[in-house]
Amino acid sequence: MRKGTRVLAAAALALMVPVLAAASTARMSGLNVPGDYVKGDYTGMFTYMSEVNSVGNLAYVEAGSVARGLTDHAVGAVLPGLFDGKYGVWSFHLRQTHPALGQSANFGLINTGHDSADPNYAGEAFDIIWGHKMGNGNLALRLNRSFESYDDGTEVQEGDGNTGRNILGFGGGYGWDMNANTQVELGALYQQRSFDDGGTGALTDDGGTAMLLAARAFRKASGNLTVIPAVKYWSIDQSTTNGTTSTTAKYSGWQAGAAGNWSVGSDDLLVFGANFAQNKGDFGDGNEDTQTFMPNVFMALETHLNPWLSFRAGAQNAMFYSYSEKYTGGEDKWKEHYFTFNLGTTVKMGNLVFDATLDPAFLQNPFAQLMGGDNAFYYNSYYNKGRVDGFTNGFVFPTVSATYTW
């Protein structure tokens, strides 16, 4: 482990001082709950864009996630005071890879090993979200672009293959106070995704649209409870053609659920909820994959240990999970359950806040963990359904984010 990482780890253990939970991808990963069901996290603005108006002055650094091969580095800023605030709130996001559809990273539903994530891994050129307050409402617009091309004078190649498509996306969101106890947020995103391998008969996209529709509400139910219902629908067209033969690959999914956010103890957070979801892959000629969560239950706790340090843990359990593959002449079906578990921590140093997920084996032997190398183990809790052989050499901090507010 590098010296800087050891310093951060030592600070987390030694600085016995609480931290208000910083909003970041690593924080959400540590909570291990779908991001739609937690309020006050800047990562939500990639789905519910009107949230950009309530983030405040923020700069963030995404140091990468082991789960994405450390290819998801990013630096961004939300600037409500730009141009003295006369032209709304501006936010700029420089990212190594574009966010999964409607999220700041590839997290959300439990990872079962079946492929239901965003299939496109294009590097993102720019991502801009603009917001404006309108009375008791908040309006926001988003523009994102990923592109590359190659021209040798004979043929032009666009994008980097089917999973590295060029993207042009437009989004919008609106949030408003329905009454004194209820706030509603709506979000919509449309993307055109295209590629062309170049030359006659080369593989190209055969339609390449992606869309997201999402809605959620925050209902103040009692002095310490906020109820958050949410619904979401998404679709991605990854179909291809070589001019004569077309191959269908269309993905879509929906989810609906609700969660309670309780303020407990000294402003700590307890989250408990469930969502029902289904993802589908249509591959033409009756070939179809279907993934169903009926339901996926989740729970998380975040507690401030002292002014500088917080701890969090969360779990998801797809209690009645099913997966089917239809093909010509038959269908294969699986019914089972999947469980995941994450730990996380936060260290605050002045205006700078570090969030990190922890190896779930950290608490069993933190000293060996901090030594690094073969002493550190990353426990992949969905691998082999959590059996002992799910342990593999890995990282003490699988995901790390830093946020700076002023």
Instruction: List, for residues 244-266, the tens digit of each pLDDT value.
Output: 999 999 999 899 999 999 999 88
CA–CA separation, 311 vs 314, rounded Å? 11
Are the C-beta atoms of residues 281 and 250 closer than 8 Å to each other? yes
Is the pLDDT score of 405 beyond 80?
yes
What pLDDT is stored for residue 98 in this prediction? 83
Domain count for the chain: 1
| Residue 381 is assigned to a structural domain of this protein | no
Compute the average pLDDT of residues 362-387: 58
Are the C-beta atoms of residues 352 and 24 closer than 8 Å to each other? no
The mean-pLDDT minimum among 112-121, 161-170, 235-244, 341-350 falls in: 112-121
What pLDDT is stored for residue 267 in this prediction? 86
CA–CA separation, 368 vs 365, rounded Å? 6
Beta bridge partners, 272, equal 260, 299
What pLDDT is stored for residue 207 in this prediction? 87
| Residue 325 is assigned to a structural domain of this protein | yes
Assign 31 to helix, strand or coil: helix
Q: Residue 57's pLDDT band (boundaries 50, 70, 90)?
A: very high
| Residue 97 is assigned to a structural domain of this protein | yes
Are the C-beta atoms of residues 334 and 325 closer than 8 Å to each other? no
Torsion (CA) 327, 330, 336, 339 in degrees, nearest 10 = -10
Query: For residue 358, what are the CA distances in angstroms to 6, 109, 195, 349, 355?
Result: 14, 19, 38, 19, 10
pTM value is 0.86
Query: For residue 387, what are the CA distances in angstroms to 101, 121, 297, 380?
Result: 31, 31, 20, 10
SS (H, E, C) 53-107: HHCCCEEEEEEEEHHHCCCCCEEEEEECCHHHHCCCEEEEEEECCCCCCCCCCCC
| Residue 164 is assigned to a structural domain of this protein | yes
What pLDDT is stored for residue 149 in this prediction? 94
Highest mean pLDDT: which range of 31-45, 83-97, 356-370:
83-97
Is the pLDDT score of 112 beyond 90?
no
Q: Between these two residues, 229 and 9, which has the higher pLDDT value?
A: 229
| Residue 186 is assigned to a structural domain of this protein | yes
| Residue 370 is assigned to a structural domain of this protein | no
Residues in the chain: 406
Assign 286 to helix, strand or coil: coil
Q: Which amino acid type is present at position 71?
A: T
| Residue 67 is assigned to a structural domain of this protein | no
Query: For residue 30, what are the CA distances in angstroms to 34, 151, 342?
Result: 11, 44, 5
| Residue 68 is assigned to a structural domain of this protein | no
H or E stretch at 29:
helix 25-31
Q: Between these two residues, 123 and 227, which has the higher pLDDT value?
A: 227
What share of the chain has pLDDT > 90, as a percent? 56
Determine the Cα angle at 262 with ends 185 and 271, to 5°. Answer: 75
Q: Between these two residues, 112 and 85, which has the higher pLDDT value?
A: 85
| Environment class of 364 (CB within 10 Å of its CB; exposed 0-12, middle 13-18, buried 19+) | exposed
| Environment class of 349 (CB within 10 Å of its CB; exposed 0-12, middle 13-18, buried 19+) | middle
Is the pLDDT score of 222 beyond 80?
yes
Q: Residue 378's pLDDT band (boundaries 50, 70, 90)?
A: low
Are the C-beta atoms of residues 235 and 118 closer than 8 Å to each other? no
Q: Which two tokens stand for residue 114?
A: 């079946």
**In which domain, by residue range, is 116 found?**
3-56+73-345
The mean-pLDDT minimum among 39-53, 339-353, 359-373 falls in: 359-373
* Per-state percent for the chain, helix, strand, coil, to nearest 5: 15, 50, 35
Q: Do β-strands 149-151 and 137-146 pair in parallel, antiparallel, or remain unpaired?
A: unpaired
Which phi and psi (to 5°) does residue 30 adopt? -65, -40
Assign 329 to helix, strand or coil: coil
What pLDDT is stored for residue 314 in this prediction? 94
| Environment class of 168 (CB within 10 Å of its CB; exposed 0-12, middle 13-18, buried 19+) | middle
What share of the chain has pLDDT > 70, as a percent? 83
